[in-house]
């Protein structure tokens, strides 16, 4: 079972439908006990970094999500759920993220004269071609973004996908069985659905179940 962390932020139904579309049994999880029964964990997030951090803390699942993201179990962070894996964000000074990765989330500069937020399709450059959750993803694939802030990892080796919107930044990070994306895979058609399919397959493999083709 794929657990989608429901901590009171955003519409999670589109993520659930996308996971089901690629063969996953996806359920919302709202407690540590429900997280413990999952084979893979998805941390979505939309809106303000500070609001998401506060809501996750109030949910009682903070420590469990953190422990999962630090383990080798399949984990997928999406949008603000990706940003929360870092230490802090310029969007919410004084609010601490989960701190799974060293680094800060920064706001786009207006020096390039581009619209902020970035809304729409952009291509990615693959930086970790052997990442298990990026199997089949190619440089030049398009994915869908909606954001004003982007993460700056202190460890360059974490960057799995890179893109450019004025400045070049990490569109995704990966470490073993963890993938986290600034873009929305559930809205990214072929490339996004392929990442989710890889994630579902990995979770099912770990659970000893047959993968749905």
- Specify whether 112 is catalytic: no
Dihedral sign from CA coordinates of 74, 78, 84, 86? positive
- Specify whether 79 is catalytic: yes
- Specify whether 186 is catalytic: yes
Tokens 């060293």 locate to 102
> DSSP string spanning the chain?
-EEEE-SS-S--HHHHHHHHHTT--EEEE-SHHHHHT-SEEEE---S-HHHHHHHHHHHT-HHHHHHHHHSSS-EEEETHHHHTTSSEETTSTT-B---SSSEEEEEPPSTT---SSEEEEEE-EES-TT-GGGTT--TT-EEEEEESEEEEES-GGGEEEEEEESEEEEEEEEETTEEEESS-GGGSHHHHHHHHHHHHHHHHHHHT-PPP-
The C-alpha angle with vertex 175 and arms to 58 and 151, in degrees rounded to 5, equals 60
Q: Which of 52, 91, 147, 186 is catalytic?
A: 186
Q: Which of 52, 79, 91, 147 is catalytic?
A: 79
Question: Which residues are known catalytic residues?
Answer: 79, 184, 186
């Amino acid at each position: 079972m794929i657990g989608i962390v429901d901590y009171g932020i955003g519409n999670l139904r589109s993520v659930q439908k996308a996971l089901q579309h690629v063969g996953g049994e996806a359920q919302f999880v709202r407690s540590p006990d429900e997280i413990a029964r999952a084979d893979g964990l998805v941390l979505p997030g939309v809106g303000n970094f500070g609001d998401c951090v506060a809501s996750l803390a109030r949910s009682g699942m903070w420590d469990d999500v953190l422990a999962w993201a630090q383990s080798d179990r399949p984990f997928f962070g999406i949008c603000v759920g990706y940003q929360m894996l870092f230490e802090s964000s310029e969007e919410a000074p004084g609010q601490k993220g989960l701190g799974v990765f060293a680094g800060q989330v920064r706001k786009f500069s207006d020096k390039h004269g581009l619209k902020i937020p970035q809304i729409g399709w952009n291509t990615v450059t693959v930086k970790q071609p052997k990442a298990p959750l990026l199997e089949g993803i190619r440089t030049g694939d398009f994915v869908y973004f909606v954001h004003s802030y982007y993460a700056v990892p202190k460890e360059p080796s974490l960057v799995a996908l890179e893109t450019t919107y004025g400045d070049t930044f990490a569109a995704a990070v990966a470490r073993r069985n963890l993938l986290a994306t600034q873009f929305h895979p559930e809205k990214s058609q072929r490339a996004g659905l392929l990442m989710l399919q890889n994630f579902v397959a990995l979770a099912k493999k770990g659970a000893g179940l047959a993968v749905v083709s």
